[in-house]
Amino acid sequence: MFEDLLRGWDGEHAVTRYDRPSDSWILVCIHSTQLGPAMGGTRLKTYAGPEQALADGLRLAAGMTRKLAVLGLPCGGGKAVLAVPSVPDGAERQRLLERYAELVESLGGSFVTGPDVNTGSADMDVIGTRTRHVFCRSSANGGSGDPSVHTARGVFHGIRASLAHAFGSDDLSARRVLVQGTGSVGAKLASLLSEAGAEVVVSDLDEGRALATGRQTVPPDVALETDCDVYAPCALGATLSAETIPRLRCRVVAGAANNQLATAEDGDRLRERGVLYAPDFVINGGGALHGIGLEHLDWDEARLELEVARIGDTLTRIYEQADAEGVTTAEAAERLAAERLTGGAVSATARNAGD
Ligand code: NAD
């Protein structure tokens, strides 16, 4: 199974290690170093088996190549998966991260990592004790900290660009936006939108979190049917499917969640319904710009803000290209990523990948 997965993958290489003390698999997948060192988060997760973990890592690494290329960053794509029997904490977690960090260090900077599912700045601090090739450590440890503020700002710029394309004006004052998920990104996005004059409606499985935003709430099971101009998915992926798309009552879908389309065909379904879709791997790139820009490219805050604002410009270009070529916005985004790589077609693995 490992053989089949690696044979069928178009990336550069994967480093696989069985970590005996924790009975875990450490899988570092380096999809591309064509534009620069491979960058990607460290995912700490339980899987049905090591094959499923490797499949996830390979797919996610390809998605990072596409994402960082479309953002115009001089970086390749990678991803690390720590496939654990159960998510550890305390000393056990620390020791696993240290052993993993030594492996990252041994790769000589060809792979640089940051937070992902189940890992955060505190884990990056631990990794940073054994390797320089890490970003988003806490600010107390010299890192750039939580990237969600810039993810939210990037989505905000993306929403404005989407409104301009859909309605001919990016003015938010007459617009109604549904923010689904009021966690790290969604709560910040809701504030930015309100400050710009939008009417913001929020929904979260955790009702307390939704209420804490001080805005009108809708129950999660009917959120998608909310009458609004913009639906901003900021919770979980795959909310756009054959079943949900007919129920949408919005003109634009633009939010931070990863892997919003359940299948590639859902991009066509949205287009057929006249819903403008901001490709997730473009609009949610502010977090990547934060970690990589501040720590790897020596940007200052002003440069970071400029680059985050450019997410809106990139989306405008994608929308214009999609219109001109009669393709979905997701397809146009993939074409832009391919242009920024070798000028060749974006890989099949990347097309099916998320981050
Ligand atoms: P988070 O865990 O802080 O918040 C997610 C929120 O969604 C939680 O409050 C949770 O209760 C809520 N939620 C879960 N299922 C829901 C449902 N069915 N209906 C309504 N609410 C639901 O996560 P986050 O960091 O804010 O990230 C949000 C999304 O954006 C995720 O998909 C993440 O992968 C993506 N993303 C985040 C960043 C970042 O910088 N944090 C960067 C890129 C992409």
Number of C-beta neighbours around residue 253 at 10 A: 26
**348 has pLDDT over 50:** no
Query: What pLDDT score was predicted for residue 237?
Result: 87
Over residues 348-353, the mean pLDDT reads 50
Name the pLDDT band for 109 (thresholds 50, 70, 90). very high
Residues 122-146: tens digit of each pLDDT: 999 999 999 999 999 999 999 999 9
Which of these ranges, 66-80, 190-204, 329-343, has the smallest mean pLDDT? 329-343
**23 has pLDDT over 80:** yes
Contact 233, 183 (CB under 8 A): no
Whole-number percent of the chain with pLDDT over 70: 96
Over residues 93-109, the mean pLDDT reads 98
β-bridge mates for residue 42, sequence order: 80, 115
Token pair recorded at residue 330 = 């997701």
φ/ψ of 111, rounded to 5, equals: -130, 130
Query: What pLDDT score was predicted for residue 97?
Result: 98
What distance lies between CA 75 and its chain's CA centroid? 15
Protein residue whose Cα sits closest to atom 10 of ligand 1: 181
Contact 27, 53 (CB under 8 A): yes
Query: What pLDDT score was predicted for residue 284?
Result: 96
Residues 270-305: tens digit of each pLDDT: 999 999 999 999 999 999 999 999 999 999 999 999
Say if ligand 1 is within 6 A of residue 33 CB. no
In whole angstroms, give the CA distance from residue 114 to residue 37.
Answer: 13
Name the pLDDT band for 1 (thresholds 50, 70, 90). confident
**350 has pLDDT over 90:** no
Query: Best of 68, 151, 244 to mutate for ligand 1, by most ligand atoms within 8 A of CB?
Result: 151
- Mean pLDDT for the chain overall: 95
Q: How far is the CA of 181 from the centre of ligand 1 (A)?
A: 6
Query: What pLDDT score was predicted for residue 355?
Result: 56
Nearest residue to 37 (alpha-carbon basis) of 10, 63, 65, 60: 65
Number of C-beta neighbours around residue 291 at 10 A: 26
CA-only gyration radius of the chain, Å: 20
Name the pLDDT band for 174 (thresholds 50, 70, 90). confident
Query: What pLDDT score was predicted for residue 342?
Result: 73
Contact 57, 80 (CB under 8 A): yes
Contact 31, 12 (CB under 8 A): yes
Query: Best of 234, 239, 308 to mutate for ligand 1, by most ligand atoms within 8 A of CB?
Result: 234
Nearest residue to 349 (alpha-carbon basis) of 34, 3, 118, 12: 12
Over residues 116-127, the mean pLDDT reads 95
Contact 295, 287 (CB under 8 A): no
In whole angstroms, give the CA distance from residue 50 to residue 102.
Answer: 21
Q: Quick one: how many helices (H) and strands (E) in the chain?
A: 14, 11
In whole angstroms, give the CA distance from residue 280 to residue 84.
Answer: 28
Query: What pLDDT score was predicted for residue 343?
Result: 65
Q: In the 8-state DSSP scheme, what is residue 292?
A: I
Query: What pLDDT score was predicted for residue 354?
Result: 52
Name the pLDDT band for 345 (thresholds 50, 70, 90). very low
